[in-house]
Amino acid sequence: MTTSSVETPVSKRSLSTPRMRLLEKMQEVNFGRIHQLQVRDGEPAFTPMTRVERQIKFGGENQPRPEAALDDFELKRNVVELFESFERLGNGIIKQLEIKGGLPFGMTVEEQAV
């Protein structure tokens, strides 16, 4: 992914395996949070410390996103921004990644001060 000013459509199929896994997990969760997600060299890494918190809404959408069944599609801007922020972070821990409607909504980052 590039961080140039020209906005290039990015598709699911163009993602690295770790990024595709995170995208699919967000679509599976739909509404909730992922805690303690490591970022190594700009790539998400699930570890034994990573936890998923799923929000259940009575009478609401609790199933995985329909896009989860698709092999390829253009990524929403939220997803592109998430991966761009991973690239800027390089290495660190996402203390909390909030997911709404299968998309990243916000995150709390822990990074080294040095």
Which H, E and C letters describe the chain, residue by residue? CCCCCCCCCCEHHHCCHHHHHHHHHHHHHCCEEEEEEEEECCEEECCCCCEEEECCCCCCCCCCCHHHHCCCCECCHHHHHHHHHHHHHCCEEEEEEEEECCEEEEEEEECCCC
- Residue 7 pLDDT: 53
% of residues, the chain, pLDDT over 90: 71
Residue 28 has pLDDT above 90, yes or no: yes
Confidence of residue 40 (pLDDT cuts 50, 70, 90): very high
Q: What is the pLDDT of residues 46-81, one digit of tens each?
A: 999 999 999 998 988 778 787 877 788 899 999 999
- Residue 95 pLDDT: 97
pTM score over 0.95: no
